[in-house]
Amino acid sequence: MNEFKDLNVSSEVVDALTKIEILIPTPIQEKSIPLLLEGKDVIGQAQTGTGKTFAYSIPLIENIDDTSKDIQALVLCPTRELSLQVSKEVDKLAKNLKKLKIVTIYGGESYEKQFKALKNKPQIVIGTPGRIIDQMNRGNLDFSKIKYLVLDEADEMLKMGFQDDLETILKEAPRDRQTALFSATLPSFIKNVSKKYMVNPEMVKIENKTLTVETIDQQVYYVKREQKKDLLVRLLDYYQFESIMIFSNTKAMVDELVLFLQSHGFSADGLHGDLKQASRDRVMSSFRSSSVEILIATDVAARGIDIDGIEAVINFDIPNENEIYVHRIGRTARAGSSGTAITLATTRSKNRISELEAYIKNKINVMPIPSVKEIQTHQQKKLFLKIVEGMEKNTDNNKYDNLITKLSRMNTNPVPLLVTLLDMIDKDSQRQYPEIETVSLKPGKKNNSNSKSSSTKPTKASNGGKKFSVVEVNIGSIDNVRPNQLVVFFHDELKIHREHFGKIVIEKKYSYLEVKTEALRFFKDINKKKFNGRTVSYRIVEGLPRKR
């Protein structure tokens, strides 16, 4: 197996790679880097996670002139997240190029800020096609000196509707440039690009024996469609993962799942294309810092998210494309760790699961739905280990002396005391689970209901029978505010999703919002927030004001 130095990579770049513990090139890097260093156009077909970013960025860094004041390289990516990720990777390689400037251009950030960055004469621009075109039309981007053009995840850019923008950029860039195109699939547009805008491109295709990591435990649970949410709660309680990504195929379901899981006491938030940039940044920051344990996302919104330590990926909806399944579950079991990939499926999806197994050349294990007893046993095992670990770490034996003395006088039998304390710290074990019907995978047989151990009485309503409460806030028409702005404000500041709100009435100094009772707990932090420079306050009132 070659090392990077065997690929004619400079010692400076090899040193930069060594510092980030990348020592051996991946297959896509081993085949692409020499071709790109020779100045050839390249089409690289490889799955996400194969190391393609370094496959094109290493030659780019080797050939860039950091003393020039011209834009020499343009890298196009489908999303803001991937653009930022690529920018970070390129920056890691360029530690020895002291004068090199990299600018990242994407939607959602102010034009003025990006204009100032472009005025600083960068040599490399990385960004999304739409915003690149916008800056070009404003006269802020000059393509005339570009030597290197990269299209990263070209098929994803097509899916997102960037075909016309890509055509425009390919036409505007100098004809004598070098072009590198990387894609998981090769639709007809990409083949046309290779004929019209590339010069005798070399094809590099990487096929793995299996497309998924062996350390991922791939599971599928079959359930009726209307009971998928109830099953999701069971699985989250059973496994108690600390960092999870849940994927849905639609924005509406992302919002629905966030609301559902939050109402069941889970630390969850969502990510999809309708969120403003500030909201996206807040959600990602919360997930990275582990203040939010469950991130629910659409595939497009999750592009470019690169986070280690994700214990599990759950496909609430089965993806429509095989490559997307591979990309989703590849977010767990990174850096040599193990991970779990769970897919929720209906019996109608059985053939789809078989298609995925054939594609990944691996087995997806059919799992039984955990019973209530199994969930409780599993939770208690984890709780026991936590308690033992806590006892080993706790050296302050005097902290609770007074309380221990009082409790010991109350009752000589420690069992009731321990049960009470365990109930206080293990609230999930008190959850009531709706019955989930077992589905048969064999045709012609009726479905059998769960065994008694797998079910219990239906869960009680969490809102106490009252769906909405009315909240009065000191923001009114004098603040020139509209209902939608209030919803966005409370979503961004308090993590209250729009589905929690009902009717909104805005008066001169105050606004009245119908808020689902289960979401009132979020308002406790409102006195720390400001709107138009004024501290926000609230109170619960009897109802919406009558029209005058």
Q: Is residue 119 part of a domain?
A: yes
DSSP of 242-291: SSEEEE-SSHHHHHHHHHHHHHTT--EEEE-TTS-HHHHHHHHHHHHTTS
Mark whether 163 and 233 lie in a shared domain: no
- Beta carbons within 8 Å of 188's beta carbon, 6+ residues apart: none
Task: Tell me: pLDDT of 453 over 50.
Answer: no
Q: Write down the mean pLDDT value for the chain.
A: 85
Q: Is the dihedral of CA 261, 344, 212, 52 positive or negative?
A: negative
Q: What is the pLDDT of residue 443?
A: 59
What is the pTM (predicted TM-score) of this model? 0.55
3-state secondary structure of 415: helix
Mark whether 194 and 236 lie in a shared domain: no
Mark whether 152 and 236 lie in a shared domain: no
What angle do the packed helices 228-239 and 251-263 form, to 10 degrees? Answer: 60
Look at residues 323, 356, 332, 41 and name the one whose alpha carbon lies nearest to residue 156: 323
| CA pair distance 303, 289, nearest whole angstrom | 19
| CA pair distance 380, 240, nearest whole angstrom | 11
| CA pair distance 272, 2, nearest whole angstrom | 41
| Highest mean pLDDT pick, 231-235, 262-266, 430-434 | 231-235
What is the arithmetic mean of pLDDT over 429-446?
74
Q: Which of 114-128, 199-213, 230-244 has the lowest mean pLDDT?
A: 199-213
Of 333, 352, 372, the last residue of a domain is: 372
Chain centroid offset of residue 206 CA: 26
Mark whether 193 and 254 lie in a shared domain: no
Q: What is the pLDDT of residue 454?
A: 39
Write the CATH number for 185: 3.40.50.300
What is the arithmetic mean of pLDDT over 402-408?
79
Phi and psi at residue 173, to the nearest 5°: -70, 145
Q: Is residue 236 part of a domain?
A: yes
Task: Tell me: pLDDT of 335 over 70.
Answer: no
Pairwise pLDDT comparison (71 vs 462), residue with the higher score? 71
Q: What is the percent of the chain where pLDDT is above 90?
A: 46
Pairwise pLDDT comparison (481 vs 547), residue with the higher score? 481
Q: What is the pLDDT of residue 171?
A: 92
Task: Tell me: pLDDT of 442 over 80.
Answer: no
Q: Mark 102-115 as b/e (b = at least 16 C-beta within 10 Å).
A: bbbbbeeeeeeebe
Q: Which of 175-184, 311-320, 535-544 has the lowest mean pLDDT?
A: 535-544
Task: Tell me: pLDDT of 344 over 60.
Answer: yes
Cβ atoms of residues 286 and 356 within 8 Å: no
Cβ atoms of residues 412 and 403 within 8 Å: no
What tokens appear for 547 in the block?
Answer: 């029209």
Q: Encode 22-51 in three state secondary structure.
A: CCCCCHHHHHHHHHHHCCCCEEEECCCCCC
Q: Is residue 95 part of a domain?
A: yes
**First CA to last CA distance, the chain:** 80
Q: Is residue 413 part of a domain?
A: no
Q: Which of 184-193, 235-244, 395-404 has the lowest mean pLDDT?
A: 395-404
Mark whether 341 and 480 lie in a shared domain: no
Task: Tell me: pLDDT of 288 over 80.
Answer: yes
3-state secondary structure of 76: strand
Q: What is the pLDDT of residue 547?
A: 62
Look at residues 70, 81, 192 and name the one whose alpha carbon lies nearest to residue 122: 70
* Banded model confidence at residue 336, pLDDT cuts 50, 70, 90: low
Pairwise pLDDT comparison (343 vs 540), residue with the higher score? 343
Cβ-based neighbour number of residue 535 at 10 Å: 11
Mark whether 55 and 193 lie in a shared domain: yes
Q: Which of 54-63, 242-251, 396-405 has the lowest mean pLDDT?
A: 396-405
Mark whether 49 and 180 lie in a shared domain: yes
Look at residues 143, 44, 128, 148 and name the one whose alpha carbon lies nearest to residue 84: 128
Task: Tell me: pLDDT of 462 over 90.
Answer: no
Which residue range(s) make up the domain with 291? 216-372
CA distances (Å), origin 61, targets 53, 55, 92, 123, 156: 12, 11, 10, 10, 25
Q: Mark 134-152 as b/e (b = at least 16 C-beta within 10 Å).
A: bbbeeebbebeebbbbbbb
Q: Which of 191-205, 440-454, 533-547 has the lowest mean pLDDT?
A: 440-454
- Beta carbons within 8 Å of 339's beta carbon, 6+ residues apart: 213, 215, 216, 217, 310, 311, 312, 313, 329, 332, 333
Q: Is residue 357 part of a domain?
A: yes
What is the arithmetic mean of pLDDT over 179-200?
90
- Beta carbons within 8 Å of 399's beta carbon, 6+ residues apart: none
Q: What is the pLDDT of residue 448?
A: 39
Q: How many domains does the chain have?
A: 3
Task: Tell me: pLDDT of 502 over 50.
Answer: yes
Q: What is the percent of the chain where pLDDT is above 70?
A: 91
Q: Is residue 381 part of a domain?
A: no
Mark whether 156 and 286 lie in a shared domain: no
Pairwise pLDDT comparison (527 vs 347), residue with the higher score? 347
Of 337, 372, 407, the last residue of a domain is: 372
Q: Tens of pLDDT along 10-39?
A: 999 999 998 887 888 888 999 999 999 999
Task: Tell me: pLDDT of 445 over 80.
Answer: no
Q: Is residue 388 part of a domain?
A: no
| CA pair distance 262, 294, nearest whole angstrom | 10
Q: Encode 128-192 in three state secondary structure.
A: CHHHHHHHHHCCCCCCCCCCEEEECCHHHHHHCCCHHHHHHHHHHCCCCCEEEEEECCCCHHHHH
3-state secondary structure of 54: helix
Pairwise pLDDT comparison (355 vs 72), residue with the higher score? 72
Task: Tell me: pLDDT of 517 over 70.
Answer: yes
Q: What is the pLDDT of residue 411?
A: 64
* Banded model confidence at residue 359, pLDDT cuts 50, 70, 90: confident
Task: Tell me: pLDDT of 298 over 70.
Answer: yes
Of 343, 372, 401, the last residue of a domain is: 372
Mark whether 159 and 271 lie in a shared domain: no
Phi and psi at residue 343, to the nearest 5°: -120, 130
Pairwise pLDDT comparison (12 vs 334), residue with the higher score? 12
* Banded model confidence at residue 304, pLDDT cuts 50, 70, 90: low
- Beta carbons within 8 Å of 279's beta carbon, 6+ residues apart: 488, 491, 492
DSSP state of 331: T
Q: What is the pLDDT of residue 464?
A: 39
Q: Is residue 499 part of a domain?
A: yes
Q: Which of 156-165, 224-233, 505-514 has the lowest mean pLDDT?
A: 156-165
Mark whether 238 and 164 lie in a shared domain: no
Write the CATH number for 472: 3.30.70.330
DSSP state of 86: H
In which element (H, E) is residue 540 found? strand 538-541
Q: How many residues does the chain have?
A: 548
Q: What is the pLDDT of residue 246?
A: 98
Mark whether 230 and 190 lie in a shared domain: no
Cβ-based neighbour number of residue 214 at 10 Å: 9
What is the arithmetic mean of pLDDT over 280-299?
92
DSSP state of 349: G
Mark whether 148 and 274 lie in a shared domain: no
Q: What is the pLDDT of residue 451?
A: 37
Task: Tell me: pLDDT of 412 over 70.
Answer: no
Q: What is the pLDDT of residue 108?
A: 80
Q: Is the dihedral of CA 218, 219, 225, 231 positive or negative?
A: negative
Q: What is the pLDDT of residue 213?
A: 63
